[in-house]
């Protein structure tokens, strides 16, 4: 692409210099009548030989009505009626416009393709006691990878040994390096910054994070927005229509009014103006630039359609667990608070050895030293009884306390509560709950200020859902929903919403709802297969602020695209009318084509450059 741009720039520069020489000679000297056509004709061929060749090839293939045909027909006609300078100028400025277009496309593509640097070149694997360098695609699941400082992690896996610092900016946009140690999960595409790591590969290259992101990025333009589809259809009918109109303009009026040369020239100017390059180039370029700008903010759009939907969204529906909350249980209350350590210590004795998430949560919060010579009996779904000599500890739900004949004081904190008793005497209660994301209330508030409604759907109990709804400030909520219930509730919200509806979920158990919404946004999608499959937008930083970034980028991108459509169509139709009535010469036609295209492209580039400044 770079070499092609360089060649086109040289062609434009040389052609412009030759045109200037021909123009000076033509105006300053009394040249023989045959010399101006030769001079300008040479410039025309130098500047436009590839355009003429492409037009001829496309005609042979049956693809007649494109910009190459329009430029060729207009300039050949101009040469035929003796408008040599205009014919040469049209080709030069057309090539200049193509050069600007190529630069813009290259810049836009680079904004997305910068992510392609996360592709690992090789993987070092231990086989038969020796290190072997392989292509990442050849590494098998379960093999041990060796990743040295400065190298990219080739496959998703678990760190077996070593402690280091990782640069995950290419995956998440997060500039702060992340610490890692043995036992931690590690994502492919991360850069090891500090010391050697031994990693067990847990996924093949095709299923790894880096491969999925690359596939997503490389196919980002696959889903077109409705505006893009409209422009494609518009150009398909518009170009033949204007060619037919130009032909009628060249033939019908002179049959009645004479002056064939004047009407043919008007028709040729009409052809030059009619070229739809400004729309066909600038609209996709605007969307492409928006997608590229978003990727640097840690937001991956799977296509332009996602930009369009989030721009016109009026309702955003959130999942609770893993979306508005962190999806990690913590001990949030112990009652009575003054007996916190004793109650947690008793509960830890009973919960030791249990694999239940609540048990793990309690063990993390309890004092480090706990006794372990107890006979443990677990009652699934109810509680645990721990007995040692003359001591009995009971830990479980309220119903379990009642079944054991123990009087208890109901917990007042919101969340999942379990109760602890020692030797038949109630000791206290422990409440565990999913922790609210710090940014959630601020993001909900910002969305509501922008005029959006917010709603929460969750399978959790009503009391806890109400607590989270109050803390975040969502406009409403529905609790205790099974996955199919979430879909039904979302469909109801979509039927009454005045605009597009977006669902934000964690991309695992929410896949059906993500797919049913007008657009789905997945949280923390780089670690979830179903997130990339089901959602239209992936928040790589696992942070709700990405929704605000996505909406801002989408709004700006759509605004620029609409500006280009209105500007290009207004100027073109105005100059088309002027051309038909003889008030526009070939120079104005050149501006209406090449000039408008260049201005539209420069405007579209703003979708790229603005995001770069903000993320610099």
Q: What residues are labeled active site?
A: 319
d(Cα 370, Cα 169) in Å, to the nearest integer?
41
What lies within 8 Å, CB to CB, of 399 at 6+ separation is 382
Residue 382, token pair as written in the block: 């109810």
Nearest 5°: the CA angle 12, 13, 16 is 80
Q: Tell me the C-alpha to C-alpha distance, in Å, between residue 477 and each of 262, 322, 356, 388, 587.
A: 71, 16, 28, 46, 62
Alpha helix locations (H) across 379-482?
A: 398-403, 440-449, 462-472
d(Cα 570, Cα 259) in Å, to the nearest integer?
30
Q: 155: closest CA among 206, 194, 98, 117?
A: 206
d(Cα 22, Cα 489) in Å, to the nearest integer?
73
Cβ atoms of 353 and 378 within 8 Å: the answer is no
Q: What sign has the CA pseudo-torsion 601, 604, 606, 611? A: negative
What does the CA dihedral 146, 149, 151, 153 come to, rounded to 10 degrees?
A: 50
d(Cα 213, Cα 206) in Å, to the nearest integer?
11
Q: 304: closest CA among 388, 222, 365, 368?
A: 222
What lies within 8 Å, CB to CB, of 53 at 6+ separation is none
What does the CA dihedral 411, 412, 416, 421 come to, rounded to 10 degrees?
A: -10
Q: 531: closest CA among 323, 391, 346?
A: 323
* Residue 449 Ramachandran class (φ > 0 left, ψ -120 to 50 alpha, else beta): alpha
d(Cα 66, Cα 91) in Å, to the nearest integer?
15
């Amino acid at each position: 692409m770079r070499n092609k741009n360089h060649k086109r720039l040289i062609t434009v520069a040389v052609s412009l210099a030759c045109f200037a020489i021909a123009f000076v000679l033509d105006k300053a000297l009394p040249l023989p009548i045959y010399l101006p056509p030769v001079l300008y004709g040479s410039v025309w061929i130098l500047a436009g030989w590839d355009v003429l060749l492409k037009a001829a090839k496309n005609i042979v293939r049956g693809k007649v009505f494109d910009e190459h045909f329009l430029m060729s027909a207009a300039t050949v006609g101009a040469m035929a009626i003796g408008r040599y300078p205009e014919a040469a100028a049209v080709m030069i400025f057309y090539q200049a416009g193509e050069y600007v277009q190529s630069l813009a496309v290259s810049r836009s593509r680079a904004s997305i393709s910068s992510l392609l640097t996360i592709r690992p070149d090789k993987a070092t694997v231990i086989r038969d006691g020796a290190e072997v360098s392989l292509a990442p695609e050849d590494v098998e699941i379960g093999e041990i990878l060796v990743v040295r400082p400065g190298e990219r992690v080739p496959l998703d896996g678990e760190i077996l040994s070593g402690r280091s610092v990782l640069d995950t900016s290419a995956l998440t946009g997060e500039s702060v390096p992340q610490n890692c140690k043995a036992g931690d999960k590690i994502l492919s595409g991360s850069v090891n910054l500090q010391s050697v790591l031994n990693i067990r590969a847990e996924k093949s290259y095709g299923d790894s994070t880096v491969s999925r992101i690359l596939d997503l990025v490389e196919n980002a333009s696959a889903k077109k927005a409705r505006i893009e589809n409209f422009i494609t259809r518009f150009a398909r009918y518009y170009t033949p229509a204007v060619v037919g109109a130009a032909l009628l303009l060249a033939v019908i009026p002179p049959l009645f009014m004479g002056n064939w040369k004047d009407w043919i020239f008007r028709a040729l100017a009409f052809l030059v103006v009619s070229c739809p390059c400004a729309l066909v180039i600038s609209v996709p370029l605007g969307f492409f630039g928006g997608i590229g700008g978003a990727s640097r903010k840690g937001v991956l759009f799977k296509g332009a359609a996602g930009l369009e939907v989030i721009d016109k969204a009026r309702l955003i529906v959130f999942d609770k667990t893993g979306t508005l909350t962190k999806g990690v249980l913590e001990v949030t209350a112990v009652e009575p608070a003054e007996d916190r350590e004793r109650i947690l210590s008793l509960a830890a004795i009973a919960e030791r050895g249990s694999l239940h998430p609540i048990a793990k949560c309690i063990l993390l919060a309890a004092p480090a030293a706990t006794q372990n010579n107890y006979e443990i009996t677990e009652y699934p779904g109810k509680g645990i009884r721990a007995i040692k000599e003359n001591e009995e500890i009971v830990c479980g739900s309220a119903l379990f306390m009642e079944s054991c004949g123990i009087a208890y004081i109901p917990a007042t904190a919101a969340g999942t509560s379990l109760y602890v008793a020692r030797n038949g005497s109630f000791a206290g209660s422990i409440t565990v709950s999913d922790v609210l994301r710090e940014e959630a209330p601020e993001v909900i508030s910002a969305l509501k200020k922008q005029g959006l409604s917010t709603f929460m759907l969750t399978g959790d109990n009503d009391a806890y859902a109400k607590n989270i709804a109050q803390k975040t400030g969502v406009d409403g909520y529905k609790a205790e929903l099974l996955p199919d219930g979430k879909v039904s509730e979302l469909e109801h919200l979509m039927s009454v919403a005045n605009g597009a509806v977006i669902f934000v979920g964690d991309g695992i158990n929410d896949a059906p709802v993500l797919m049913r919404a007008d657009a789905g946004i997945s949280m923390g999608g780089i670690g979830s297969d179903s997130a990339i499959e089901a959602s239209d937008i992936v928040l790589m930083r696992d942070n709700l602020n990405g929704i605000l970034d996505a909406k801002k980028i989408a709004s700006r991108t759509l605004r620029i695209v609409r500006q280009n459509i209105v500007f290009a169509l207004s100027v073109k139709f105005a100059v088309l009318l002027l051309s038909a009535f003889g008030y526009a010469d070939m120079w104005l036609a050149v501006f209406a084509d090449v000039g408008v295209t260049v201005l539209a492209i420069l405007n579209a580039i703003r979708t790229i450059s603005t995001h770069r400044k903000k993320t610099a």
